[in-house]
Structure formats: C-alpha cells, structure tokens
Structure 1
Amino acid sequence: MLALSVASASLPVVGKHLEPFGAMAAMGVWGFRHLPEFVTASAKSWVAPGNGDLRKAEREQTTAAAQAGLRGVVPATDLAIDWPAPDSMPPLWHTMEYRRDVYRTSVRYGDDPAQLLDVWRPENLPAQPAPVLLFVPGGAWVHGGRMLQGYALLSHLARQGWVCLSIDYRVAPHHRWPQHLSDVKAAIAWARANVDKFGGDRHFVAVAGCSAGGHLAALAGLTPNQPDLQGDLPDGSDTSVDAVIGIYGRYDWEDRSTEERARFVDFLERVVVGRTIDRHPEIYRQASPIAQVHPDAPPFLVVHGTGDSVIPVAQARSFVDRLKAVSRSAVGYIELPGAGHAFDMTDGARTGAMSTAIGLFLNHIHRNRAIDHTKAVI
C-alpha cells in the first residue's frame, strides 16, 4: 500500500491530491509498530490497583519537577513565582482561546505549497524587536502539520511578548529524509531574514519541537549552516539558532539495542529514509542529534515524561547526559513523573507548568544574550 501510494502521487495532475493516502499508509505502518505497546501501557496504567492514587501523586509533582530541572540553569529568583494551578480540562479544550493569539496565518516561508507558518504574537508589541521562537510540530516524520500542536506554549509566550512561528513541513513517504530538516532550516533562514516584518528580532531565534519535531529542532540546533543539510537555500543563509527546546523528542536514529528501538529503525528504513542503516550508516548517524553534540551547541532544555511508551524516557536521559558532558552552554532537563507522549495536548495538570518553565528558560537565555550583546558594543 505504501509503495502504491507513493507511485500514484507521482502521476500528473491528480498526483498531488493523492499524497494524503501515502501519509495515511505511512502512519498505519507506524501505528502497527507502536499502537499495541501504547494501548497495553495505557490499560495497565488505568486498571492496575492503586494507580489512580499514583497518577494523582505524579501530577502533583509537576511544579517541583519543573523547578528541579531549571535549578542551576535559571536564577532562583525567577523560579520563586506563583506557578499555574493544574487544569482539570485537557489543553485541546482551550483551542479557540489559544487561537486568539494567532496574528497571521499561512505565511509562506518557501516556494512549496507545504512551506507555511502561522505567526503568534500580541496585537501590540514594545518598540524594541521581540524574541522569536520557531515551533516544529511532531507526527512521526509522516505528518508535519501545525494545527493543534504547541498551542498552550505558543499562546503563553505570545502573551509574554514573544513572536512565535509555527510551521508546516514536507514529510515522508513522498518527501524522503532529509527534506524534513531542510524545510525546518528554510523556516529558520526565513525568520533570520524576515521576522522583523512581524516585530520579531532577527538576532534572537530559538527553536522548539515535540516528538519528531523535537528531533528536528535538536538536529537543526546542532547543525547550523551545515552545507549538506541546507537544501536549496541560497549561499549565506543563516540557519543557526540561539536556544533549543526538545519536548518528548527522539534523539537517536542508530541504536537498535532494544526491541522498541529496532522497530523504530525498521520504520525509518521503510518509510522515512528509504535506505537501510546497514548500507548507509552515515545517513542515520548524521540524523541522530546525540551523535551531533559538540562544545558549541546552543543552550538546550529537554522535557520528557517517565510514562512515555512511544519514546521511552531513557532516550532523553542519554541525550542530556551527552549534552552536559560536551556542551559549553546551559543544559536543562525536566523529567515529569508519569507523563506520557503528547501530554501537552491531553494533560492540563502538566501543560501550564511546562509552558511556564519553558518561558522562564527562554527569557533567561534571551536576557543573557542581550547582556552579552551590550557588553560587546561597549
């Protein structure tokens, strides 16, 4: 089905309209590999005796976990605030409220029809340019749509005076790797060159992402201006970023040490990359953020839940350990007890605190960058 859908999408005139069937087939392959484990883990969580009390206790630890993850990275005075109370409703319930902070929709950042972004910002900005966050949605590299993803975070930052850009990007199976990353870099380059038209500061652009978007955000942050990953961007395009936020991301494309990781690499081979890791190990190494960590990496904040059955928390821990051992920049890590995949769309008890924590981290990095710039000018 996957091969037929890809072939049919290349037909003239009608091919473009058949691309969604390829994405559906690809998502089916992903679901076949991950859904049974996800359902089993969820059922155990809800049915096992005493788990209701455990889930409640884990949610109550959210603010403490956020503060612990930022301690030593963000000043203690920044953490001494009134943190948001848990919300009994899932964040998706507040979609229309969040959408009020969208300033402009479907702005083109490239020539392809899929290269679109939404601009989130307050109606009135201060006179000085606002810091910028570019958000990369998830979707297992076969879905790259900006709808519904990251809304709580984008709304929170927009109300704090940030300009946020939420992007669409091209996905497998019709667009093989590294087209996903090339599109993210094209959006960063667009922001560096054009975000001032929306009140943003071209000299401070951070990137964040969830799940597959977390992988893309981390890899973009670690490979600035790398020629073989710039796609069709003109020479001199700036794809560097000033900070990275990875939220339940996948950071290793090489490791096949567990059954879950072996299934994941098989999915990459069949659907996303179209080449095997045994014959093309260099592709998978170059696509692994954990293998691209270097001393000049930008500041990182990684957020992951211990209850994630799609991307186990061990992957985040390994990535953070590697960052802390090598990078000269700040590295924060927030591990949320019991939180599952996509908690920021489904779990109101955690989402407010996470948006607040990410805002504190980004505001701190932005302040430090402004201070460094002032010193350099003087």
Structure 2
Amino acid sequence: MPFSRPLGRPSYYFGLAANELPFAAFFWLLLLPTALAFTEGDIDSVGAWVIVGLAAVTTLGPAVIAHRALGDRARIEHAMAEGLGAGWRAAIDADLAEGLRRRLPLARILFLPILKRRPDVRRVANLAYGDAGRRNLLDLYHHRSRPQDAPVMIHLHGGHYSGGHKNSQSLPLLYRLASQGWVCISANYRLRPGAQHPDHLIDLKKVIAWVREHAHEYGADPTTLFVAGSSAGGHMAGLAALTQIDPAFQPGFENADTSVTGAIYLNGWYGPYFGQGPESSPLAHITADAPPFLIAHGDLDPLVPVADARHFADQLRRTSANPVVYAELRGGNHAFDLYHSFRFEAVVDAIEGFAAWVRTRERTPQP
C-alpha cells in the first residue's frame, strides 16, 4: 500500500493529478515557470540554460502520458464491441442513440478539468434515506427542466470503507447524465470501524429502496436503475448487483425491490472485506442471472492490481448470461474518475452508450 510509506499519500495524489491531467501538469509545472523565467530575464547563465534543457526533456513525460490517455478511447471502443457485439451502436434505439455524445469536450478537458458543476443541472443535497445521521444522506442531481420517466444512476464513493463522502467522485459522470435527463444519486454510507460488512451494503440497499419510493418526485422512473461505484464503492455496487432482493442484506425491509438494471464497476476492489471470508467478495455471488456489467480498471492502479480486475471480469463472463464489458485503461491510475480528463470522459461516453444498449434490450422482449 503506497499510503504506508513516508510521504506516500501526497506523492500518490500528486502522481494521480499529473497522470490524469498531463496537459495541466505541462502548463503549471513546466511551461508557465519557464516562460516566467524568460520574462524576468533569469535565463542568463549556463546553469539556467541547463535547467531549461532539462525542462524541455521533461516534457516527454506528459507527452507519453497524454498519448496513452488519448489511446484509451479506441481501447474502450474495442472493449464495448467485445462485450456487446460489433454492431452494438446500431442496435441502440434511435431516441436513445440521439443523445449519445460523439466527441470529447475538449475545452472542458483542457481548460476546466476540475470544474464539475453544470448550470443546467440542479443538485438537491442531504436527503435522508436512513437513520444513521449524515452517513445516511444522499445528493440527487436532475436537469432543471425535470423531464419525466428519467432513468436512475446511483453512485457510491470510495475511501477504503473508512473515509470519503458523497459529492466527491465520478461527478463528471453524474453531471453529464443528469444534463441528459437522468436522475443521479450520490450517497454517503456508514464507515469503518463503527460499521462492518454487510452494514455498508445494507446502506446501499436502503438507497435503492429509497429511490423506488421517492425518486418519482423528481421525475424518475426507478424501474430503470443502474448502480455504480468507485474503489470501495465499486465493491459495494458489485455486491448489490449480485445480491438483488436478498433478504439477508435487507433487515427490516426484506420485501423492498432492490433489483438493478446494470452495474458500473470503476477502479474497484474485488476481494473479501477486511478479515472476513470469501463470502464478502463479489466473486462469491456471481450467478447466471447477474445483470449486465461494465468494468473499468487502470493497468497502473497502485492500490488494486489489474490482475484482480481481469480475474473478476473473466469469472463473470464464464458464469453470467448477460453481457460483461471489461475496459482496461492503459496508464490508468486508481481514482481516474475525479477529473474531466481524456481518459475518464471516454469512460463516461462508454457508460452512457452501455446504458443505452442495456435500456434498448430491456425494451425488446427476449426469447
């Protein structure tokens, strides 16, 4: 674990930002300081020119990182074709295909990568879904025009099950979907050490039950409901998708409908919960009726080895009768979903396309 080393946490976050935002790193760390040095007349010695030369060589690093990130769009497209079929785009209903984005938002990626909010989306904050105080609050995002019969996306944050909070991760995804007429949920949940498995999963089931009961008040049609998560939240989303309507994880609300239409697993953990047996892993709950899954994982993730993601996707494909999309992101770090980056915006487009494909199939009677 990199956080256990001296300066591990700050170096991790610095590396994450540089890896996911190479253009910003180039501008703020190389171009701007060098330009200021020239402007101030400080490049007036051999030593100064040596530093300029080193800065020029250093630009190769961001260039390589950017090249990898730009290539992920094609790699994700290949993963979609592999998981859904070569003609997956043509199979989407016309009304759903019309809203899919055809190109990346370059201006936002290059100039406003950390700005998440959108003027056409309203955030309704701190709605209670349970009795655990602020750990049982959720935020709801919807278009200001409040369209009716909106599909729902629920997202759970990461944080090792011991930290983190709603309104922090995958916000480019939630705001994008809400701007396209979805109702999106970002929820807190109880944390370690006060809570243990399956307390977190029970909280997510409560969120799903809350959506079934209340989301229509915001224009949602909760019969179409996707569950997503990042890191620990991905682990939780995977468990929820694989234990639908299981009374063992719904104490006091056993009869609530906690089924989901599909699952989005981002830079997740796939193994057992801390110190508990294999039954606390999503791997233990894979069955033939698992819902459609989209899994995205970086091959340079320092917290969860990419081999774990490959193994989970392989086991899911072997057993599930539903499609599994596994997108491996070349050069991708853990928590790649924090920014409007080339990599995550390509993932956002894939999630939107995946959801449209699944929704189209839901409309079509299956033999």
Which residue among 315, 318, 322 is the counterpart of 1:322?
315
Which residue among 61, 78, 83 is the counterpart of 2:71?
61
Match of 2:220 in 1: 200
Segment of structure 1 superposing worse, 82-91 or 203-212: 82-91
Tell me by how many angstroms 1:69 deviates: 1.3
Tell me by how many angstroms 1:54 deviates: 2.7
2-side partners of 1:187 and 1:118: how far apart?
11
- Secondary structure of the residue aligned to 2:143 is coil
Question: Are 1:351 and 2:353 an aligned pair?
Answer: no
Matched residue type, 1:211? S
Question: Are 1:246 and 2:239 an aligned pair?
Answer: no
Matches within 5 A, 1:224-373: 224-230=244-250, 232-253=251-272, 268-269=274-275, 283-346=276-339, 348-372=341-365
Matches within 5 A, 1:108-257: 108-113=128-133, 114-127=135-148, 129-230=149-250, 232-253=251-272
Deviations 1:140-174 (A, max 9, x none): 10024102212100011111111111111001011
Deviations 1:108-149 (A, max 9, x none): 11122121111111112444x111111111111002410221
Q: Does the 8 Å CA contact 1:185/1:220 hold for their aligned counterparts?
A: yes
Q: Does the 8 Å CA contact 1:303/1:333 hold for their aligned counterparts?
A: yes
Matches within 5 A, 1:85-96: 85-86=105-106, 87-89=109-111, 91=113, 93-95=114-116
2-side partners of 1:312 and 1:38: how far apart?
20
Tell me by how many angstroms 1:312 deviates: 1.6
- Secondary structure of the residue aligned to 2:224 is strand
1-side partners of 2:215 and 2:356: how far apart?
18
* Unaligned segments of structure 1, at least 5 residues: 1-28, 254-264, 270-282
Deviations 1:204-227 (A, max 9, x none): 111000010000000110011222
- Secondary structure of the residue aligned to 2:318 is helix
Segment of structure 1 superposing worse, 67-76 or 241-250: 67-76
2-side partners of 1:188 and 1:117: how far apart?
11
Q: Does the 8 Å CA contact 1:156/1:356 hold for their aligned counterparts?
A: no
Deviations 1:22-76 (A, max 9, x none): xxxxxxx993279749948959989998644431221120210121111141613
Tell me by how many angstroms 1:229 deviates: 1.7
Q: Does the 8 Å CA contact 1:103/1:123 hold for their aligned counterparts?
A: no
- Secondary structure of the residue aligned to 1:94 is coil
* Unaligned segments of structure 2, at least 5 residues: 23-53
Tell me by how many angstroms 1:310 deviates: 1.1
Matched residue type, 2:249? L
2-side partners of 1:211 and 1:197: how far apart?
30
Measured on the aligned residues, the alpha-carbon RMSD in Å equals 3.0
1-side partners of 2:119 and 2:206: how far apart?
25
**TM-score (normalizing by structure 1):** 0.76
Q: 1:326 to 1:89 in 2, by over 3 A?
A: farther
2-side partners of 1:217 and 1:341: how far apart?
17
Segment of structure 1 superposing worse, 363-372 or 329-338: 363-372
Match of 1:13 in 2: none
2-side partners of 1:115 and 1:81: how far apart?
34
Q: Does the 8 Å CA contact 2:156/2:237 hold for their aligned counterparts?
A: yes
Match of 2:50 in 1: none
Matched residue type, 1:286? E
Deviations 1:75-119 (A, max 9, x none): 13469962205523574x213x34862341111111221211111
Matched residue type, 1:240? S
Q: 1:37 to 1:117 in 2, by over 3 A?
A: closer
Matched residue type, 2:115? H
Identical-residue share of aligned pairs (%)? 31
Matched residue type, 1:67? E
Q: 1:318 to 1:237 in 2, by over 3 A?
A: same
1-side partners of 2:101 and 2:174: how far apart?
20
Q: 1:186 to 1:313 in 2, by over 3 A?
A: same
- Secondary structure of the residue aligned to 1:185 is helix
- Secondary structure of the residue aligned to 2:364 is helix
Q: 1:240 to 1:81 in 2, by over 3 A?
A: closer
- Secondary structure of the residue aligned to 1:290 is helix
Question: Are 1:32 and 2:32 an aligned pair?
Answer: no
2-side partners of 1:119 and 1:34: how far apart?
38
Q: Does the 8 Å CA contact 1:103/1:121 hold for their aligned counterparts?
A: yes
Tell me by how many angstroms 1:371 deviates: 2.7
Matched residue type, 1:369? E
Q: 1:368 to 1:31 in 2, by over 3 A?
A: same
